[in-house]
Amino acid sequence: MMHEPELDVLIIGAGFGGIRMLHEARRRGLSARVLEAGDDVGGAWHWNRYPGARTDSESWVYCFAFDKDLQDDWDWPERYPSQPQVQAYLKHVVERFDMHRDIELNTRVEAAVFDEDRDLWTVTTESGQRIVCRTLVSATGPLSAPQEPPYPGLADFQGEWYLTARWPHEPVDFAGKRVAVIGTGASGIQVIPLVAAVAERLTVFQRTANYAIPARNYVLDDLQRQSIKSRYNEIWEQVSRQAMGMAMNPANRVFSDVTPEQRQRLLEAAWEEGGFRFFLETFDDVFVDPESNEAISEFIRNKIRTIVKDPATAELLCPKPDHPFGAKRPPLGNFYYETFNRDNVDLVDVSSNAIDDVTETGIRLMDGTEYELDMIIFATGFDALTGALTRIDIRGRGGRSLAEKWQDGPRTHLAMAVDEFPNFFMVAGPQIPFANAPAMIEPAATTIGAAISQLRDKNQTRVEVVPEAVEEYNNLLHAFYNATIFPAGAKLRAWWLGTNVEGKTLGVAMNFGGFPTWAESVKAEAAEGFEHYRFSTNPDAQPSQAAAEVKTGADMT
Ligand code: NAP
């Protein structure tokens, strides 16, 4: 019996990862389609349209590197692109490469089941559509499943309420309103200064103080753009060597190399430069040497004490001594601490006196204190890394779901594949490095494309990572993790450890060993013929039709 798959590749998600993967599939002559839950492309940059949303990566590396003309033609307006600018860029890419015809919007994937007899995936959407494909690639993003507010009283709240991660298309009017923001992670820290500028009163509910580094955004001049474009080869070369996949230089020094006076000067200069350069270009041992880390942590606390005029508010904004810098993902701020000098802004500490519930008129704390509000903004974070994947019923060999397999935390090979889940790949899945997303997507999409091409070219029907490779990668991740300050994040509810979600176990769900070694391993997998993967042919399964028609070039690995 012949079993014809409709598609070589079905991709879930039309953000950076899905768009890049679609391009990769097409250039290899694979038939591909993208299913996207949103009503437009953009992924995280479609949903997180709250005021102040912008990247923490510099624009010239927050983009695709696969096409020189695309790179040369696009003009980034600012150092850090805003949400509308990033989404405009992604829409431009989709149009330029005529991708719309292969992207289905408003299509949420509900389930995907691997048929072991036919070596095919059957994917079911929310509307009941069924698609059969040889390989399934998820590009669902690490931060795309928001946490719902856990307050039963919210249903009776008479005011407006919003999630930063599900911000409406229509403008939200803060003028003359008493607004609350719950959450002081990267999202809260971006939205707070802008709401404060307009709202009658802004009350910020803070459970854990964070280290916000000034972003120091600026408008790019034509001459700066010209300079960036002329150096692109060098820029991507820098990215490939840099720990977080950014165009920065290593500090080439550790904390103990310099005197206390030199340290202060270096940190002051880096604070002026702003952004991730603050910690990536000062000392290379910030995340491994507690003394180096404490120096940076205390430097930021002192900046907070200098900027914020009310000493009690300043102390509340200072992260506690058991919170090393970076143990939670450091956010970038645009006049964040300055906002607390405004007369219309209050900071409420809910670390020991937690929010009890939302009432009809506002928020009530455990001790009975009530806040009357017209609007509540929840910047309360995500069921990160695994959430978007485990919310889909993905079943591999033996019928076991990914959610069941990952009960104690995800275990992947290079954030790309999972044993027992044949013909399934992830672009930037759980266990990715803590790094610039577009930089990570590039080698991941290329290698995944190479694996699928190999399957097709050899008329094979199944590819699966061997469990030993998953074990080896996880041993490595544990070794990296245990050599850093990152374990301190567990008690601080760091999203990358899963402890921000009640009852969730993530284990070591990120690679803290840096971008370059990971990217090298991903590329080596393809270059060395996928030695950690088993390719096989099921005689009852029909190989992909495209195999007969399309030949790929030797440079396609
Ligand atoms: P987040 O970092 O997890 O922060 C969530 C915030 O909500 C925390 O301050 C948390 O407090 C608070 N919170 C959650 N539940 C609460 C409750 N019941 N009561 C009081 N406070 C509560 O989430 P995020 O800010 O959305 O950022 C997540 C990640 O998305 C970032 O780290 C970043 O990687 C990415 N992101 C990037 C950008 C950018 O690049 N510019 C912008 C936004 C987001 P606790 O800390 O006490 O748990």
What would the 3-class secondary structure string for 54-117 be? ECCCCHHHCCCCCCHHHHHHCCCCECCCEHHHHHHHHHHHHHHCCCHHHEECCCCEEEEEEECC
Q: Whose CA is nearest to atom 34 of ligand 1?
A: 329
Contact between residue 189 and residue 335 where contact means Cβ atoms under 8 Å apart: no
Model confidence pLDDT, tens digit, residues 412-465: 999 999 999 999 999 999 999 999 999 999 999 999 999 999 999 999 999 999
462-465 vs 424-426, strand pairing mode: unpaired
Q: In angstroms, what is the span from residue 329 Cα to ligand 1's centroid?
A: 9
Q: What is the largest CA-CA distance in the chain?
A: 77
By CB neighbour count within 10 A (0-12 exposed, 13-18 middle, 19+ buried), where does 281 fall? buried
Q: Whose CA is nearest to atom 23 of ligand 1?
A: 381
DSSP 152: G
Q: Are 374 and 388 part of one and the same domain?
A: no
In one letter, which amino acid is 494? A
Residue among 451, 373, 467 at smallest CA distance from 412: 467
Q: Are 172 and 227 part of one and the same domain?
A: yes
At residue 2 the predicted structure's pLDDT band, cuts being 50, 70 and 90, is: very low
**β-pair partners for 464:** 534
Pocket of ligand 1 contains residue 225 by CB under 6 Å: no
Q: Is residue 42 part of a domain?
A: yes
By CB neighbour count within 10 A (0-12 exposed, 13-18 middle, 19+ buried), where does 365 fall? middle
Q: In angstroms, what is the span from residue 183 Cα to ligand 1's centroid?
A: 6
- From 50, 364, 380, 504, give the residue whose CB has the most ligand 1 atoms within 8 Å, as the site to mutate: 380
Model confidence pLDDT, tens digit, residues 514-553: 999 999 999 999 999 999 999 999 887 765 544 444 333 3
Structure tokens at 433: 């490095």
Contact between residue 146 and residue 165 where contact means Cβ atoms under 8 Å apart: yes
Q: Is residue 2 part of a domain?
A: no
- In angstroms, the CA 547 to CA 541 distance is 14
Q: Is residue 292 part of a domain?
A: yes
Structure tokens at 202: 């802004």
Is the pLDDT confidence value at 383 over 50?
yes
Q: Are 259 and 323 part of one and the same domain?
A: yes
Pocket of ligand 1 contains residue 186 by CB under 6 Å: yes
- From 366, 436, 500, 501, give the residue whose CB has the most ligand 1 atoms within 8 Å, as the site to mutate: 500
Pocket of ligand 1 contains residue 52 by CB under 6 Å: no
* pLDDT at res. 4: 60
Q: What is the chain's length?
A: 557
List the domain range (segments joined by +) for residue 255. 152-378
Model confidence pLDDT, tens digit, residues 54-96: 999 999 999 999 999 999 999 999 999 999 999 999 999 999 9
- In angstroms, the CA 452 to CA 546 distance is 11
pTM: 0.95
Pocket of ligand 1 contains residue 201 by CB under 6 Å: no
Pocket of ligand 1 contains residue 411 by CB under 6 Å: no
**β-pair partners for 544:** none
Q: Are 369 and 465 part of one and the same domain?
A: no
Is the pLDDT confidence value at 307 over 80?
yes
Q: What is the CATH number of the domain that holds 433?
A: 3.50.50.60
Q: Is residue 1 part of a domain?
A: no
- In angstroms, the CA 235 to CA 220 distance is 17
Q: Are 173 and 322 part of one and the same domain?
A: yes
Percent of the chain, pLDDT > 90?
Answer: 94
Contact between residue 118 and residue 541 where contact means Cβ atoms under 8 Å apart: yes
- In angstroms, the CA 178 to CA 93 distance is 40
Q: Which positions ≥6 away from 323 have C-beta within 8 Å?
A: 208, 209, 297, 488, 492
Task: For residues 241-269, give the mean pLDDT.
Answer: 95
At residue 133 the predicted structure's pLDDT band, cuts being 50, 70 and 90, is: very high
Q: Where is the domain boundary, 350, 378, 406?
A: 378
- In angstroms, the CA 485 to CA 288 distance is 6
At residue 211 the predicted structure's pLDDT band, cuts being 50, 70 and 90, is: very high
In one letter, which amino acid is 453? S
Contact between residue 209 and residue 232 where contact means Cβ atoms under 8 Å apart: no
Pocket of ligand 1 contains residue 207 by CB under 6 Å: yes
Q: Are 400 and 530 part of one and the same domain?
A: yes
Is the pLDDT confidence value at 555 over 60?
no
Q: Around Cβ 409, how many Cβ atoms within 10 Å? A: 18
Is the pLDDT confidence value at 392 over 50?
yes
Contact between residue 416 and residue 532 where contact means Cβ atoms under 8 Å apart: no
Q: Whose CA is nearest to atom 6 of ligand 1?
A: 183
- In angstroms, the CA 406 to CA 389 distance is 10
Q: Are 358 and 392 part of one and the same domain?
A: no
Structure tokens at 309: 């005029």
Q: In angstroms, what is the span from residue 540 Cα to ligand 1's centroid?
A: 49
* pLDDT at res. 550: 38
Question: Phi/psi of residue 146, each to 5°?
Answer: -70, 155
Q: Are 337 and 389 part of one and the same domain?
A: no
Q: Which atom of ligand 1 is nearest to the CA of 150?
A: 18
Q: In angstroms, what is the span from residue 243 Cα to ligand 1's centroid?
A: 23
Alpha-helical regions (H) of 308-436: 311-317, 336-339, 387-390, 402-405
Q: Is residue 392 part of a domain?
A: yes
Pocket of ligand 1 contains residue 365 by CB under 6 Å: no
Q: Are 105 and 162 part of one and the same domain?
A: no
Pocket of ligand 1 contains residue 122 by CB under 6 Å: no
Pocket of ligand 1 contains residue 495 by CB under 6 Å: yes
Q: Are 83 and 183 part of one and the same domain?
A: no
Q: Is residue 336 part of a domain?
A: yes
| Number of structural domains found in the chain | 2
Q: Where is the domain boundary, 327, 347, 378?
A: 378
DSSP 256: G
By CB neighbour count within 10 A (0-12 exposed, 13-18 middle, 19+ buried), where does 437 fall? buried
- In angstroms, the CA 120 to CA 8 distance is 10
At residue 505 the predicted structure's pLDDT band, cuts being 50, 70 and 90, is: confident
Task: For residues 386-392, give the mean pLDDT.
Answer: 97
Residue among 186, 185, 192, 205 at smallest CA distance from 339: 192
- In angstroms, the CA 188 to CA 287 distance is 24
Is the pLDDT confidence value at 557 over 70?
no
Q: Are 131 and 212 part of one and the same domain?
A: no
Q: Where is the domain boundary, 344, 378, 412?
A: 378
* pLDDT at res. 542: 64
393-395 vs 32-35, strand pairing mode: unpaired
Q: Are 111 and 225 part of one and the same domain?
A: no
Q: Is residue 493 part of a domain?
A: yes
* pLDDT at res. 97: 98
